[in-house]
Structure 1
Amino acid sequence: MSVQAFGQWLYTTPAAAAIRETVWVIPTVQAIHILSIAVLVGSALVSNLRLAGVFAADEAPTTIIRRYLPWMWCALAVLLLTGLLLIVAEPGRTLNNAVFWTKMALVLFAFVLTLVFQKPLLNRQSADNGPDRSTMTKSAAWLSLGLWLAVIFCGRFIAYT
């Protein structure tokens, strides 16, 4: 089954019709989706700026990561759920859109990058949290920020492509 055929089938399901026909559902889901991206990107901003050595240099990276990483995971879960609802409601708008698939690839890449560079910090001892960060970690922090910003831009441009 092609993506287009799957999208057409999904559009005709009772769940998709219920989401589309209930006046308040799509605006509510979109609002929650946008608030979740704000939480995710805000948490990523603080965490990555700390890893880059730009922000909260007086606190150990582990402290910042422990504080904000759970917010990132919760926001990502909400984003995936609300995004899935939006796809079910209007599959033709997303599943056939190259910008949507670019956004999904960027989210996956940013997610993996976060796992690789932030999650291990949760297991380190406080003595290992000095202000010196490797060039690789700093570069990954800036790359992560760039990826999340690209996700936002792609999300906005889905409506225009």
Structure 2
Amino acid sequence: MTLQNFTTWLYATPFASTIRDVPWIIPAIQSIHILAITIVVGSALVSDLRLAGVFATDAMPNVVIRRYLRWMWIALVVLLITGGLMATGEPDRVLTNTTFWLKMSLIVAACLLTWFFRRPLLHPGFHLEHARWRPFVKPAAWLSLAVWVCVIFCGRWIAYTI
């Protein structure tokens, strides 16, 4: 099955029709999606700025990471669900859009950065100042923020690109 065949089939499903036809569904899903992105990016912002040594420098990095990482992952799940629902409503506009796939690639990259640079900090005995990869933490934090900003821009551009 080609992507075009899949989007045609998905568009014709009763579930996709309901998403498109009930006037309040898309605005409600978009609102939840936007709230979830603010939680994800807000959590990334606080965590990454701490790892970059710019914000909350009086707190241990592992404390800041532990406080925000859980919210980040929960909101990311909400983002994936709401994004999937929006894509289901208009699969031909979304799933065939290169900006959408760029956004998905950037989300994977941001999640990998988050996973690899924050996960060790969750272990009670871990001390960032003794880590061999400590010189890479600040650049990775700034890169993570840049990637999340690009995700937001791509999300907006999906509506304006084909």
Aligned to 1:23: 23
Aligned to 2:80: 80
Displacement of 1:138 in angstroms is 0.7
Aligned to 2:123: 123
Displacement of 1:135 in angstroms is 2.1
Displacement of 1:2 in angstroms is 1.1
Q: How does 1:58-77 map to 2 (within 5 A)?
A: 58-77=58-77
**Deviation per CA, 1:66-118, whole angstroms, max 9, x where unpaired?**
10000100110000000010011000111110000000000001001100000
Displacement of 1:119 in angstroms is 1.3
Alignment partners' CA distance in 2, 1:60 and 1:146: 23
Aligned to 1:157: 157
Alignment partners' CA distance in 2, 1:131 and 1:86: 45
Paired amino acid for 1:45: L
Paired amino acid for 1:39: I
Displacement of 1:49 in angstroms is 0.4
The answer to whether the 8 Å contact 1:57/1:131 transfers is no
Displacement of 1:125 in angstroms is 2.5
The answer to whether the 8 Å contact 1:60/1:129 transfers is no
The answer to whether the 8 Å contact 1:11/1:89 transfers is yes
* 1:118 alignment partner, SS class: helix
Q: Could you list the runs of 5+ residues in structure 2 that have no partner in the other structure?
A: none
Aligned to 1:139: 139
The answer to whether the 8 Å contact 1:53/1:131 transfers is no
The answer to whether the 8 Å contact 1:43/1:68 transfers is yes
The answer to whether the 8 Å contact 1:47/1:65 transfers is yes
Aligned to 1:14: 14
Alignment partners' CA distance in 1, 2:31 and 2:46: 23
Deviates more, 1:129-138 or 1:25-34: 129-138
Identity value in percent: 55
Paired amino acid for 2:104: M
**TM-score, normalised on structure 2?**
0.94
Alignment partners' CA distance in 2, 1:106 and 1:112: 10
Report how many aligned residue pairs link the two structures: 160
The answer to whether the 8 Å contact 2:19/2:25 transfers is yes
The answer to whether the 8 Å contact 2:128/2:134 transfers is no
Alignment partners' CA distance in 2, 1:74 and 1:145: 18
Alignment partners' CA distance in 1, 2:137 and 2:55: 14
